[in-house]
Structure formats: structure tokens, C-alpha cells
Structure 1
Amino acid sequence: MVKAYKSNVPDTFHSLSVLEYLLKRFPYHSEEEWTLRILQNQVLVNESKVPPRHILTKGDEVAYLPLDLSRGEPPINIEYTIVYENSDFLVVNKPPNIPVHPSGRYRTHTLLNLLENERGIGTCFPVHRLDRETSGVMIFAKKKSYQLMLQTLFEQRLVQKHYRIFVFGEFPQSVKAEGFIGPDKTSEIRKKQRYHTDQFENAKFCITEFNLISYHPAKLISYLEVKPATGRIHQIRATLLSLGYPVVGDKLYGIRETAFLDFVNHGETKSLSKELGHSRQALHATEISFFDSISETDFHFSAPISQDLISLVVSNP
């Protein structure tokens, strides 16, 4: 029988939520992983089930079961391709269903591990991130110094990124969403964000430009080009949902938030994919460009839309 790990909340962690406590004391799991475990009732406070935002007090007992890794890691999509490579960095067309970093049950089944070990590149450093389900172009630095240089360009908004995404609803020809994005206090899923034109607590300014490519009236699906000027967490998906256009295939920012809990409890099922319109969030990073001041070179890279999204590509009648 697996023995639970137990700890008592000290003074310094008084008034934190249970999720914040776990992230600070036990950072070997990601925020998403701890959230899932709490929602799956694998974390107890004083022997009781609690939501992720439950506030702790000094002396509370927090208990959780260690992950059972004996079942092995979940399968991943290893069909990545190298778009470009030089001595400083490489650009990868990331497939869907592969995490970039180790997280939860994904230990070696990651894009980083494939690049460093199976392909023999050696140590490399992700410059930015794409979610496990998101596909498309992504940059990895081969040197820490180059990673820091590129991340500075991202922070200064000197890296241009383009995406393609599918949403439910008839989208306008063009929308420039300027507003604020921050935690969605109405959601039990702590990582979920929301967008609003007015400032609100813990929200950050964001700008995203959306342009309609095509609309399929029979499916009620719009195909969009996206140009984010800022890089906030879940910026594209959260903005679209808040505007009234849920993302096709999205378990968190799609047509039903509780689909995320269904996925946690039962995994990816045919009925869930059918309801959401696809088996994963229909988001693809198509282009990325920047100016390298070291080599004085303008770089521009692109990746064609992922094969699994081709069936969703529609044209105006």
C-alpha cells in the first residue's frame, strides 16, 4: 500500500492557498500537475478534500499520495522536424501531444529529451514555451548566453509571432483586443486566465490582433490568424473565450470548462473530442522572426499548419 506524504503548515505559509503551498514547498511538480492532483482528490487537508484555492492555516496537515510511475509514461508524438539549425540555436516544428519540459508523469517523454539525447544535440535551452497540445515553430538556444539574449528580445517585444487558431462562432473580419489578462477568480482551475478591457486585480496589459481567414457556416467555425504583441500566459485562448469565441478542441478555453475535469478523470475520449470539435486545442504557431544583433541577421521561420488540423481548414463558400 502506498504511504501518503504528510506535512504541517508552518508560520511562514499561513494564509496561502493549498496550491500555492504545494508549489512553494514541493516544486518538483508543476502548477498544472498539482492542480490536477487536487482536483482528483489526491491531496487532502486535515483528511478532507479541498479545492485548489482553499486557504491554509498554521498547523493544518497536508497529505498527498506519491505518483505511481510504475505504469510508465504516457505516449507522445515524436514527429518533430528541425526547421533550422546553426551553432547558436535551432528551430523546431513541434508536433501536438508532446510536452517541452519534464512535468508530472512525463519525465523522459519530452521534446527537450528528444533533442538533447536522441538527436545528440547536447544541452539546449527553450527560449519560450508552447503547451503540450499546441503545435508549431519553437526556438531552442544551444548556449545559455544566447537563450538570455533571445529572452530579452521577447521581453522587449522585438520577436514577432504569428499563430493560426480555430474558434466557434462567426468572427469579425478584424479585431484588435487591447486590455488586461489575469487569473479567473470564478474558476476552480487556478491557472485559468480571463481577459477584460478594464484593469482588474493581478491583471497585466495585453494586445492581440485577430484576422479572419475563413468561416464555415455549417460548422460554425472561424479560422483566424493571430498576432500577439505581448506574451501573457494563455493570452490568445483566454482572450478569445472572453470575447465570446471558444477555442475548438480546448478543454479549458473551449465550449465547456468542466471538460477539463472530464479529461482529468477519464482521459481523452471520443465523445469528449466530438463535443469539443477536436482532440486537442486547435492552435498552431506558424511564424516567428527576430533580428540577431550579434550576427546582424534578420531571421524568419515558419511551420505549415499541423496535419491533424487540416480537416478544420475551411474556405468561405
Structure 2
Amino acid sequence: MAMISPLPVRDGVGATRLHLPMTGPWATVGDYMAERFFHLSPELLFARFDRSEIIALDGTALTRETPLGAHEFIWYYREPAVEREIPFDVQVLYQDRDLVVADKPHFLPTTPGGKYLQNSALVRLRRQLDLPELAPIHRLDRATAGLVMFTVRPEVRGAYQLLFERREVEKVYEAVSPLPDEWDAASPALAGEPFPIVYRNHIEKLRGNVCVRADAEREPNSETLVELIDADDRVMHTLLRPHSGKMHQLRVHLAALGAGILNDSFYPELLPEAPDNFGKPLQLLARELRFIDPLSGAPRDFATHRTLQEAPASAA
């Protein structure tokens, strides 16, 4: 059973939970945190204990002297960071007592993380809709735009998450890629394979790496159907139907086929980190979601209102 935070959602942001070691070379919880969060000023950290901002599961506040081993989990609010504003709005396409379906822009993360806190779809929607218990059912990469779903009440979240775990949600994406050098408009194909293409490989997320690793020697654990929508003299526009949901799957699969997505800084080559260029978003869009609602049994069908700016002009 999931632990319930002793701290409420504040300004759209839930408290962070930290799992503490029960033993170790640290005399106090504060000593452990000062070493773990070495990039923070120790005095600023200990001042948070003095202000009773570090809380145990039973709601009690820890002090500078609280010994290591007294509590296994603690909660605290992340200190607000100076964030770069993401100048694009997340749009609500559908809302009922159980479900919110949103249309996420490029560059906006689905949930808080790293240097983004208020600038996340989850926090913006919690504040906009006054729904502090809103929670994501699945996630989109920060660079990807399109459909993402949230549950309104904690008690229904598991039923919707199970749809994704059982692959009972039909997901459709669009992508725009630079036209491959060997492109033949009379016989369109990628890596020698004519459309439609079913591509499979093994994708593994390595700890500490921002990119995933594709291993051609291992049993495939990811599959995507790639269909051609259109092409002109500079780009190709594809429809992607992932059968699995591995991290960066669509980006990896198109790159492996020689058609890496336009403006992708991860695949096929990891480029040096640079500030966001809002004029050049990754040309990947979560276009459609279809499923049978696990609570009502009714068919659900949602479509994005967004388009890819680099798609051929003839695309409908």
C-alpha cells in the first residue's frame, strides 16, 4: 500500500519523500542529508530543520539532533527554484470526475523534476483546475507534445494505469524526419524496408545515462509500426503506432531506420546540452489515444489539437 504524505500539496506541488538508511556513519538525519545533498549549503539545510520543515510519516517535525534510524522516511517541500518560464500553455481537452485529458506543448515536462517544478503540466493543471490530487497515468517526454492523461481521484488511478500495463491503450503518434539521402519517392522505404514497417529491437535504460541503449543481439522488447503519411523534397511525415512503451522508443526506432526525428538532440547522436530553442521543437506528437474505459465500459477516443510545424504542407 502506498504511503500517504503527511504534508499536503502546496501551490500545486506535492512534498518530496526521502528514504533514509537506518544505519551508517552519520550520527543524525541532518548529517546524512548534508552529505547526500552536498551541493547545498549545510547551514541552509539545517535551518530547514529549525523551521520544522522536515517531517516524519506520523507528522512530527525532525530536528538537527534527530538520530539516524529514528525514521525510515521523511517528507519535505523542494525549495522553489528560479525556473525559466515555458511560454506555452497546456490545454484541457476533456474532464470528468475521474479523468483529465490534456494537450501538452513541447518543452513542458509532464511532472516536476530536475530544474522544473512550477513549469510542469501536472503542477499547472493542479493549480488551474484546483485539483490537488490530480496524478499522471502515463508520461510524455518533455520534448514531446500531445496527449497525456491524469486521474482526478487516487482511488481510480490504478484502474487506468492497468490499461497501459496491459497494453490496452491504442496510442498513435506523428513524427517528421529529414528526408533520407537514399529516398525514392516512387518506392518509399527506410533501411531497405518498404512501408508499412514493423520495427523491433531491445531497449535498455542505463542508470545515469540520459539516452537508452539499443541492443540488436538481445530478444526484442519493443515494437513500433511505422506508416508513411507524406513526404516532400525535404522531410518525411510518419504515423507511429507503438505496441510497447519503452523510454524514447519512437525516437530510437526512427533513428535506427535512418530517419531520426527532426530537432532530436539525443538520437542518433547525443548533442551537447544547450538552452531550449523554442523555435525548433522535437517533431514528435502524441496524436491519438483510444481505449475502453475501465470504470464505465464506454469507448474513449481522444485526439490532439496540435500539429507539427515542419510537416509537409500537404498534410491534412
Tell me the TM-score normalised to structure 2 length.
0.66
Q: Is the 8 A contact 2:83 2:115 kept in 1?
A: yes
Instruction: Compute the displacement of 1:122 (Å).
Output: 3.0
1:293 aligns with 2:312: no
CA–CA separation in structure 2 for the residues paired with 1:78 and 1:123:
23
Q: How many residues align?
A: 231
Residue type matched to 1:139 in 2? M
Instruction: Compute the displacement of 1:196 (Å).
Output: 4.7
Residue type matched to 1:157 in 2? R
SS in 2 for 1:165: strand
Shifted more, 228-237 versus 240-249: the winner is 240-249
Match of 1:230 in 2: 244
Q: Is the 8 A contact 1:178 1:197 kept in 2?
A: no
CA–CA separation in structure 2 for the residues paired with 1:103 and 1:183:
18
**Once the two structures are superposed, what CA deviation does each residue of 1:263-292 show, in whole Å capped at 9, x if it has no partner?**
1xxx245xxx9xxxx612110000001112
Residue type matched to 1:206 in 2? S
Alignment of 1:117-196 (within 5 A): 117-168=127-178, 169=180, 170=183, 171=190, 172-183=194-205, 190-196=209-215
Instruction: Compute the displacement of 1:243 (Å).
Output: 2.0
Rg: which structure is higher?
2
Instruction: Compute the displacement of 1:77 (Å).
Output: 3.3
1:80 aligns with 2:100: no
SS in 2 for 1:115: helix
**Once the two structures are superposed, what CA deviation does each residue of 1:172-230 show, in whole Å capped at 9, x if it has no partner?**
42110123212479xxx713124355317xxx61111000111122x1x2100000011
| Residues 131, 84 of structure 1: alpha-carbon distance in 2 compared, 3 angstrom cutoff | same
CA–CA separation in structure 2 for the residues paired with 1:119 and 1:152:
25
Instruction: Compute the displacement of 1:262 (Å).
Output: 4.1
Please give the root-mean-square deviation of Cα atoms over the aligned residues, in Å: 2.9
SS in 2 for 1:153: helix
Match of 1:29 in 2: none
CA–CA separation in structure 2 for the residues paired with 1:120 and 1:184:
37
Match of 1:54 in 2: none
CA–CA separation in structure 2 for the residues paired with 1:252 and 1:279:
14
Alignment of 1:1-317 (within 5 A): 72-168=82-178, 169=180, 170=183, 171=190, 172-183=194-205, 190-199=209-218, 205-217=221-233, 219=234, 221-254=235-268, 256-257=269-270, 259=271, 261-263=272-274, 267-268=275-276, 279-306=280-307, 309-315=308-314
CA–CA separation in structure 1 for the residues paired with 2:129 and 2:294:
29
| Residues 184, 212 of structure 1: alpha-carbon distance in 2 compared, 3 angstrom cutoff | farther
Where in structure 1 are there 5+ consecutive unaligned residues? Answer: 1-10, 13-24, 27-66
Instruction: Compute the displacement of 1:102 (Å).
Output: 1.4
Tell me the TM-score normalised to structure 1 length.
0.66
SS in 1 for 2:309: helix
Shifted more, 145-154 versus 205-214: the winner is 145-154
Report the structure, 1 or 2, having the larger helix content.
Answer: 1
Instruction: Compute the displacement of 1:140 (Å).
Output: 0.4
**Once the two structures are superposed, what CA deviation does each residue of 1:22-41 show, in whole Å capped at 9, x if it has no partner?**
xxx66xxxxxxxxxxxxxxx
Instruction: Compute the displacement of 1:118 (Å).
Output: 2.9
Instruction: Compute the displacement of 1:302 (Å).
Output: 0.5
CA–CA separation in structure 2 for the residues paired with 1:97 and 1:288:
21
Instruction: Compute the displacement of 1:315 (Å).
Output: 3.8
SS in 1 for 2:149: strand
Instruction: Compute the displacement of 1:82 (Å).
Output: 1.2
Instruction: Compute the displacement of 1:246 (Å).
Output: 1.3
Where in structure 2 are there 5+ consecutive unaligned residues? Answer: 1-22, 25-35, 38-77, 184-189
CA–CA separation in structure 2 for the residues paired with 1:293 and 1:183:
30
CA–CA separation in structure 1 for the residues paired with 2:115 and 2:129:
22
SS in 1 for 2:221: strand
